[in-house]
């Protein structure tokens, strides 16, 4: 019997994961990537001796990467050199209020004790719950395809779900253990990756605190794109054919079955199975005829999106002080501006921001004696982002950065590039210019997310940050594994 042919649209983490699992199972797989380099949002670029990761910069949940490569008899170390960061990151609460988060759990507990005496046993109890949630959530729940409520109805799992605080907010959960406002903000920080405020994220996601505090923050030397390089190499070892600069314009459907895809240049690829690892909304609304779309435009407009971002990639001609690899600037309060980030389509008055200085860890990403900086400002999706407003926010953030770190930086910027909503749309066809996909609210979790399979086209599947299990690098890698299992189950060779 001839090999079944699979076309995967998009070469981000989810697309690479799907393709590699299917090729390993015996399918003939072709990835069609719109851009000229693989990796989706995890692409990189180089300019004037500086190397910039364009998207993800946090390496959390190392066990997910280990499990991924182990599926093929490999290890992450076969493809890249991973180091644990210490401090994990720095939180800046104001002038001379820099808190370095130690990698060692004992040191972390001592730090919290210095902020709230007697908090140690409470931290232990909090992390014990978080560890259980991580064990069940990451090793079980996120690997379910979430196509039916019956996946979650066995008695043990129902008991687990109740125990895992699905119906309590993260904000309330954290405040049951901690009183100090700075500790509360530290504990709520990880849910930023999930695209909503702690008031609207289920306490299930304290599992992220376990990932942060216990499993730690890591970095692949050379940058996050080294993961992409490793996944591409593994995919090609398995026989995956990756076509770059291949912009899909249409999925051809006949009698409820996808027959293949057409590129903008007219070239066609036949397929027995099509997997959309590109933006789900784009695929649904632009690549399919109306009668085959999974969801209406009204459905999409009612979804709660995770933030978009305004990023600045900066090359600095000197070494900078008072910065570590990851820095979170919480010198402005989140509360009054939360709606500006997550819901209301307006630019915030006093934005939070994050800074990555990978050159503090990795000398290969900047020329000797210089620094590589990436500054990220989370913003509501669907904003107008012209050059004038970008420049306004650049100077707003740089004013604070220079004041807080006590040094002149702007006059030492020798390379600068900005990236925001319109770029996400142009490069990734991102719905409303989103950077992170759908927020992981209770009503957008598991079976309440967009389905990983088309309801009207029986061999069209979806993977990535807009379907299960959700946004972030580890979840999208898992998403590719989950959809590949469904394809193998339903399309046995």
pLDDT at 335: 47
431 to 36, 264, 453: CA distances (angstroms): 21, 20, 19
Residue 149: per-residue pLDDT: 78
| Separation of alpha carbons 418 and 41, rounded Å | 15
Which CATH number applies to 303-428: 2.60.40, 3.30.519, 3.40.50, 1.20.5? 3.30.519
Distance CA 311, CA 420 (A): 6
CA atoms within 13 A on the CB side of 360: 21
CATH 1.20.58 fits 105-215, yes or no: no
Is the separation of the CB atoms in 467 and 451 below 8 Å? yes
| Sequential pLDDT tens for the chain (493 residues) | 679 999 999 999 999 999 999 999 999 999 999 999 999 999 999 999 999 999 999 999 999 999 999 999 999 999 999 999 999 999 999 999 999 999 999 999 999 999 999 999 999 999 999 999 999 889 888 998 988 777 776 766 666 666 788 889 999 999 999 999 999 999 999 987 787 889 989 999 999 999 999 999 999 999 999 999 999 999 999 999 999 999 999 999 999 999 999 999 999 999 999 999 999 999 999 999 999 999 999 999 999 998 899 999 999 999 999 999 999 999 986 544 455 455 566 898 888 899 999 999 999 999 999 999 999 999 999 999 999 999 999 999 999 999 999 999 999 999 999 999 999 999 999 999 999 999 998 899 889 999 999 999 999 999 999 999 999 999 999 999 999 999 999 987 5
CB within 8 Å of 363: residues ≥ 6 apart: none
The domain ranges of the chain are: 5-48+59-81+222-302+440-490, 105-215, 303-428
pLDDT of residue 493: 55
| Whole-number Å distance between alpha carbons of 425 and 435 | 9
Nearest to 294 by CA among 482, 451, 466, 458: 451
HEC letters along 37-96 = CCCHHHCEEEECCEEEECCCCCECCHHHHHHHHHCCCCCHHHCCCEEECCCCEEEEEECC
pLDDT, position 157:
61
Contacts of 493 (CB under 8 A, 6+ apart): 1, 3, 4, 25, 26, 27
Asked if 7 contacts 32 with a C-beta cutoff of 8 angstroms, the reply is: yes
Per-residue model confidence (pLDDT) at position 336 = 42
382/296 Cα distance (integer angstroms)? 18
Could you tell me which CATH class the domain 5-48+59-81+222-302+440-490 is placed in?
A: alpha beta
* Residue 401 CB burial class (10 angstroms; 0-12, 13-18, ≥19): buried
Model pLDDT, residue 161: 66
Specify the 3-state DSSP secondary structure of 413. Answer: strand
């Amino acid at each position: 019997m001839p090999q079944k042919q699979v076309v995967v649209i998009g070469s981000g983490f989810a697309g690479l994961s799907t393709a590699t699992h299917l090729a390993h199972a015996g399918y003939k797989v072709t990835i069609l990537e719109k851009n000229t380099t693989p990796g989706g949002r995890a692409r990189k670029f180089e300019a004037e001796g500086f190397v910039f990761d364009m998207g993800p910069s946090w390496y959390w949940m190392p066990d997910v990467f280990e499990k991924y490569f182990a599926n093929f008899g490999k290890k992450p170390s076969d493809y890249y050199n991973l180091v644990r960061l210490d401090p994990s990151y720095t939180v800046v609460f104001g002038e001379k209020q820099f808190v370095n988060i130690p990698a060692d759990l004992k040191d972390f507990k001592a730090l919290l004790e210095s902020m709230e005496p007697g908090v140690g046993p409470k931290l232990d109890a909090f992390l014990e719950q978080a560890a259980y949630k991580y064990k069940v959530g990451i090793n079980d729940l996120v690997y379910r395809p979430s196509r039916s409520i019956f996946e979650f109805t066995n008695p043990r799992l129902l008991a687990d779900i109740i125990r895992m605080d699905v119906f309590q907010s993260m904000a309330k959960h954290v405040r049951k253990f901690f009183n100090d406002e700075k500790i509360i903000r530290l504990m709520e920080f990880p849910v930023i990756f999930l695209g909503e405020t702690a008031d609207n994220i289920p306490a299930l996601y304290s599992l992220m605190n376990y990932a942060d505090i216990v499993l730690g923050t890591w970095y692949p030397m050379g940058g996050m794109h080294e993961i992409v390089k490793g996944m591409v190499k593994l995919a090609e070892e398995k026989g995956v054919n990756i076509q770059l600069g291949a912009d899909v314009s249409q999925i051809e459907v006949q009698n409820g079955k996808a027959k293949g895809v057409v590129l903008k240049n007219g070239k066609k690829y036949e397929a027995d199975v099509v997997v959309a690892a590109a933006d789900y909304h784009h695929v649904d609304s632009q690549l399919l005829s109306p009668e085959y779309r999974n969801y209406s435009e009204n459905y999409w407009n009612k979804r709660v999106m995770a933030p978009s971002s305004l990023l600045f990639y900066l090359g600095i001609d000197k070494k900078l002080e008072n910065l570590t690899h990851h820095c979170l600037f919480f010198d402005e309060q989140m509360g009054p501006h939360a709606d500006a980030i997550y819901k209301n389509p307006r630019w915030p008055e006093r934005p939070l921001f994050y800074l990555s200085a990978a050159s503090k860890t990795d000398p290969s990403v900047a020329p000797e004696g210089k620094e590589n900086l990436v500054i990220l400002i989370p913003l509501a999706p669907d904003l107008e982002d012209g050059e004038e407003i970008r420049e306004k926010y650049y100077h707003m953030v740089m004013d604070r950065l220079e004041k807080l770190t006590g040094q002149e930086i702007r006059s030492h910027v020798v390379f600068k590039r900005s990236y925001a909503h319109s770029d996400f749309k142009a490069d990734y066809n991102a719905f409303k210019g989103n950077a992170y996909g759908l927020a992981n609210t209770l009503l957008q979790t598991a079976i309440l997310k967009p389905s990983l399979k088309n309801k009207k086209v029986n061999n069209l599947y979806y993977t990535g940050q807009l379907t299960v299990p959700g946004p972030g690098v580890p979840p999208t890698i898992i998403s590719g594994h989950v959809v590949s299992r469904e394809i193998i189950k339903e399309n046995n060779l």
